[in-house]
Chains A and B, each alone.
Chain A
Amino acid sequence: MLGYYFFLALRSLRRTRMLTALMVLAIAVGIGASMTTLSVMFLLSGDPLPGKSDKLFYPQLEPSTGATLRHWPMDLMDYASAHDLWAAHRATRQAMVAEASTHVVPTASGQSPFTVATLATTSDFFPMFDVPFKYGGPWTPEDEGRAARQVVLSATLNQRLFGGANSVGQDVVINGAQLRVVGVLDHWRPRPRFYMLAGSRNSGGDTGDFYGPTEDIFLPMATGIDIAQADMQPFTCWSNGNIDFKHMMTQPCAWVGLWVELPTAAARDGFSRFLDDYDAQQRSIGRFPHPKLTRMLSLHEWLAFQQVIPADVKLQTWLAFAFLAICLFNTVGLLLAKFIGRSNEIGVRRALGASRGAIFGQCLVEAGLIGSIGGLFGLLFTVLGVVAIRHQPVAYADLVSVNIPLFLLALAVALGASIVAGIFPAFRASRVAPALQLKVQ
């Protein structure tokens, strides 16, 4: 029966080419627009660390020492607090993170010095975030303790400095200090750079840069403090005196983040208590004059809190789906016109014994066929849309791509939407009275 309906639908489509073409085009454009934005949305809202993200937490306390009207703690902490919480080793793994910008003097002659984004962190960072290594590995906790002159390079920087060769054991000059390469990362592009999102929430939705490449240099925190203390990027400073950026360790500035891995609920509660106790103790000795203000968000909660998905992308998605709705209204109207225009034929089929259900089914098959063809053309528009996004000047442009699940989703949405759009017109068509139509004939 379905085969017969299919055959009838094909004949009907061929008879009203213009109307069919209009419907197919409308569906294709709607699918193209919505799937393009959806692919970006999926890409940017995905889990940056699948399978592990629910074990990672971001403890925070309010480090400022002046009056505060805050509802939640600052995005980063002062060094003393972060170091105290880190050094207690109360979690399975813990890592401090701080961003800096340092300059590299290439050893190869002819290359001029350049500036690179740098992350000062601690050794647990790499296993905790499943960071892949191509050569070598992280520095050891012992090396970290003695501020060893060691460094881990990104694949990009290793390509630039050493042509992609195994550079473990080679030296790199950073901020005038000679550092030994102990590891080179494999391709690593977390989406977003979830471990350092400070300020995302306050950036007016312009958060595209958090989806850019990772830092190129990873330094032990103690080494970073030795050679790049003045280059550390503070989230903010609070002081009525002046800030001495050469001694960031002791300045009233928030510039260090802390990540902890807590695999069980008990561990979570334990660390939460530890954080509160630390905060209480610091307040009791008068270091924090404000009331208790601590928080420990999971990675997911932190991403949501920082509103890291760019506002433009969310806006595009809204627009695209409003647009798809318009295309569907359009399709409903055109299908209605098409089916009612065939009242005579339907009347004859009804008179010859077709049930209302059969007419309904036949019309739905036709709607579905139109939807499928629209979906196929929609794939084409999706590819065009993705190409357009890849040419946009945004940090995540190179990540956007088409893939099989997206194609399948596009086809499914096109088919589903067209069938939904066909329900009312098909229902109307199935109510055509057989006798009346025959009389007019």
Chain B
Amino acid sequence: MQIAPILAALKKHRMATFLIAMEIALACAVLCNALYLVTERVRLSHVQSGVDEDRLVAITLDGVTDDQAADLAPRLRQRLAQLPGVESVSVANATPFGPQAGEMGFRIDPNDPVFHLQGHFYLGDANFAKTLGLRLVSGRWFTLDDYAHVDGFLPKTSVVLVDADYAAKLWPGQDPLGKVVLSGNQTLRVVGLLARLVRPNPSPFATTNAFLMPTLPGTGLASVYLLRTVPGHAEEVFRRATAAISRDERGVIINAQASGPLVTLRDAYFANTRSMAMMMVGVIAALLLVSALGIVGLASFWVQQRRQQIGIRRAIGATRRDILHYFQLENFLIVGGGIVVGMVLAYVLSAVLMKQYEMPLLPAYYLPYGALILWLLGQLAVLGPARRAAAVPPVVATRNI
């Protein structure tokens, strides 16, 4: 199929061609960015927490006073561990997908005048790693001597475990083991790297800036109870545990939003992210629909206008397939032109979004996806009108309109 005659014909409809190409260009710009936003959100909602979510139940208590805490934590830990279906219980300050509780500024260079880094410090008792199912990639676990009571905000300990990815970011190209983390007046030494530990509230900006500190339950550590259950019993254990607490511990308040099987907490945490992603998918669908409508409309119009020329071409020997291919190729060229402009526009839009919302620049690999989708859409939309064109009988050539 020759391209030159198609281009010559399009020259007669410069404005209409330009309009449809511009529509495709804008659609390409929005589509690529929207695809990126959806993917980012979906990726966030599938974030690996590094803990055995399907086997965990979190119970968060509100308003535990320091006087209560000293004996509440050990008592409740023991009480919950006795429930059927529970394998182990850990007392902590926070749970993944619950409220953050240990957000602190810190520094890794003692000469740094301010704590300009931010991380979430999980405080957990000796059962924490076992209960959550954390894995160590290097270094060592805490030993019994490491555990200490909370004094103020953090336990009086000198060791810390850190998420391996985050450690690699903090000390690029170096072995993080033995490095120091300074927070408040405490100097903490990294003794081990965790394969993965997500912060309680992961976001695109901060996902695994998480530390774990060895802490004894009691004053300052009595609010969050993590229960490891026998597989498939999380719901049941949660019901039993809340019933037991409501019955035996009159004074404490269960924070309903931050308590439940971890799978449920995770769902609730990402509800907004998912609904935003759904909305974006809606925008993308509407966008493709409208673009397709435009192509169908304009192609139908052109077919109708060129009936006579099509008849003539058919009369002098063009096959139906030739006519069909003509319109398909024409559409391919117009959409292609739109996509070229659209790729530039996509980066303009991305730069605007980046500036306004601190989003990273659109990765280049979204462009071929966007192009492919629009080319396919164009071919689908033009198929109907093109088939109608191919169905024009040669005899039309002999008629005057």
Q: Which residues of A contact B (CB under 8 A)?
A: 18-19, 22-23, 25-26, 29-30, 33, 66-69, 101-103, 112-115, 175, 204-206, 208, 230-231, 236-237, 239-246, 311-312, 314-316, 318-320, 322-323, 325-327, 329-330, 332-334, 336-338, 340-341, 388, 392-394, 424, 428, 440-441
Whether, in the assembled complex, B377 has its beta carbon less than 8 Å from a beta carbon of chain A, the answer is: no
Contact A330:B23 (CB < 8 A) given known A103-B63, A314-B356, A315-B37: yes
Q: Are B152 and A243 in contact (CB under 8 A)?
A: yes
Which of chain B's residues have a CB closer than 8 A to the CB of A68? 114
Q: Are B357 and A336 in contact (CB under 8 A)?
A: no
Q: Are B298 and A334 in contact (CB under 8 A)?
A: yes
Contact A336:B16 (CB < 8 A) given known A29-B289, A103-B253: yes
Q: Are B66 and A246 in contact (CB under 8 A)?
A: yes
Select which of A112, A204, A323 is within 8 A of B253 by beta carbon.
A112
Whether, in the assembled complex, B70 has its beta carbon less than 8 Å from a beta carbon of chain A, the answer is: no
Contacts A/B (CB < 8 Å), 5 sampled = A115-B63, A241-B152, A319-B33, A326-B290, A336-B16
Contact A239:B279 (CB < 8 A) given known A208-B272, A318-B353, A330-B294: no
Q: Are B301 and A337 in contact (CB under 8 A)?
A: yes
Q: Are B279 and A316 in contact (CB under 8 A)?
A: yes
Q: Are B23 and A113 in contact (CB under 8 A)?
A: no
CA gap between A26 and B26 in the complex, in Å: 15
Which of chain A's residues have a CB closer than 8 A to the CB of B205? 204
Which of chain B's residues have a CB closer than 8 A to the CB of A29? 286, 289-290
Q: Are A424 and B349 in contact (CB under 8 A)?
A: no
B282-298 CB contacts (< 8 Å) to partner A = 282-283, 286-287, 289-291, 293-294, 296-298
CA gap between A208 and B23 in the complex, in Å: 33
Which of chain B's residues have a CB closer than 8 A to the CB of A318? 352-353
How does the 8 Å CB contact mask read for B331-361 relative to A, with 1 for contact and 0 for none? Answer: 0000000000000000001001100111000
Q: Are B296 and A115 in contact (CB under 8 A)?
A: no
Q: Are A18 and B300 in contact (CB under 8 A)?
A: yes
Closest to A70 in B: B114
Contact A329:B294 (CB < 8 A) given known A29-B289, A323-B287: yes
Contact A326:B27 (CB < 8 A) given known A115-B63, A208-B272, A333-B19: yes
How does the 8 Å CB contact mask read for B149-185 relative to A, with 1 for contact and 0 for none? Answer: 0011110000000000000000000000000000011
Select which of A102, A206, A334 is within 8 A of B203 by beta carbon.
A206
Q: Are B29 and A322 in contact (CB under 8 A)?
A: yes
Select which of A115, A319, A336 is within 8 A of B34 by beta carbon.
A319
Whether, in the assembled complex, B78 has its beta carbon less than 8 Å from a beta carbon of chain A, the answer is: no
CA gap between A424 and B255 in the complex, in Å: 62
Select which of B246, B291, B297 is within 8 A of A334 by beta carbon.
B297
- In which size bucket is the chain B interface? 35 or more
Q: Are A25 and B293 in contact (CB under 8 A)?
A: yes
CA gap between A112 and B252 in the complex, in Å: 9
Closest CB-CB distance, B259 to chain A, in whole Å? Answer: 12
How does the 8 Å CB contact mask read for B264-285 relative to A, with 1 for contact and 0 for none? Answer: 0000000110011001101100
Closest CB-CB distance, A194 to chain B, in whole Å? Answer: 22
Whether, in the assembled complex, B305 has its beta carbon less than 8 Å from a beta carbon of chain A, the answer is: yes
Q: Are B283 and A320 in contact (CB under 8 A)?
A: yes
Closest CB-CB distance, B246 to chain A, in whole Å? Answer: 7
CA gap between A226 and B94 in the complex, in Å: 27
Closest to A69 in B: B114
Contact A329:B185 (CB < 8 A) given known A204-B203, A341-B305: no
Which of chain B's residues have a CB closer than 8 A to the CB of A66? 113-114
CA gap between A175 and B304 in the complex, in Å: 79
CA gap between A23 and B374 in the complex, in Å: 20
Closest to B296 in A: A22
How does the 8 Å CB contact mask read for B21-32 relative to A, with 1 for contact and 0 for none? Answer: 011001101100
CA gap between A319 and B277 in the complex, in Å: 13
Q: Are A242 and B276 in contact (CB under 8 A)?
A: no
Which of chain A's residues have a CB closer than 8 A to the CB of B251? 113
Q: Are B15 and A428 in contact (CB under 8 A)?
A: yes
Closest to A395 in B: B272
Q: Are A26 and B294 in contact (CB under 8 A)?
A: yes
CA gap between A337 and B275 in the complex, in Å: 39
Closest CB-CB distance, B29 to chain A, in whole Å? Answer: 7
Q: Are B290 and A240 in contact (CB under 8 A)?
A: no
Whether, in the assembled complex, B248 has its beta carbon less than 8 Å from a beta carbon of chain A, the answer is: no
CA gap between A66 and B358 in the complex, in Å: 29
Closest CB-CB distance, B262 to chain A, in whole Å? Answer: 18
Whether, in the assembled complex, B204 has its beta carbon less than 8 Å from a beta carbon of chain A, the answer is: yes
The list of the 8 closest CB pairs from A to B, nearest first, reads: A242-B152, A337-B301, A67-B113, A330-B294, A333-B19, A103-B63, A329-B23, A115-B62
Contact A241:B184 (CB < 8 A) given known A326-B27, A337-B297, A428-B15: yes
Q: Are A326 and B203 in contact (CB under 8 A)?
A: no
Which of chain B's residues have a CB closer than 8 A to the CB of A333? 16, 19-20, 23, 294, 297-298
Contact A69:B116 (CB < 8 A) given known A26-B293, A333-B298: yes
- Beyond A243-B152, A315-B357: 9 further Cβ-contacts under 8 Å? A102-B63, A113-B251, A113-B253, A241-B152, A242-B151, A334-B297, A341-B304, A341-B305, A388-B279
Pick the most buried of B26, B30, B279, B297: most chain A CB atoms within 10 A of its CB.
B297
Q: Are B272 and A394 in contact (CB under 8 A)?
A: yes
Q: Are A393 and B293 in contact (CB under 8 A)?
A: no
Q: Are A33 and B184 in contact (CB under 8 A)?
A: no
Closest to A66 in B: B114
Closest to A27 in B: B290
Q: Are B301 and A341 in contact (CB under 8 A)?
A: yes
Which of chain B's residues have a CB closer than 8 A to the CB of A236? 105
Select which of A322, A323, A440 is within 8 A of B349 by beta carbon.
A322
Q: Are B153 and A114 in contact (CB under 8 A)?
A: no
CA gap between A312 and B33 in the complex, in Å: 14
Contact A337:B34 (CB < 8 A) given known A69-B114, A115-B255, A314-B356: no
Q: Are B301 and A19 in contact (CB under 8 A)?
A: yes
Q: Are B357 and A114 in contact (CB under 8 A)?
A: no
Q: Are B298 and A337 in contact (CB under 8 A)?
A: yes
CA gap between A327 and B26 in the complex, in Å: 10
Q: Are B286 and A323 in contact (CB under 8 A)?
A: yes
CA gap between A66 and B271 in the complex, in Å: 40
Pick the most buried of A240, A242, A424: most chain B CB atoms within 10 A of its CB.
A242
Which of chain A's residues have a CB closer than 8 A to the CB of B246? 112
Q: Are B30 and A330 in contact (CB under 8 A)?
A: no
Closest to B41 in A: A312
Q: Are A319 and B16 in contact (CB under 8 A)?
A: no
Contact A326:B272 (CB < 8 A) given known A19-B297, A319-B34, A333-B294: no
Contact A393:B353 (CB < 8 A) given known A68-B114, A333-B298: no
Which of chain B's residues have a CB closer than 8 A to the CB of A388? 279, 282
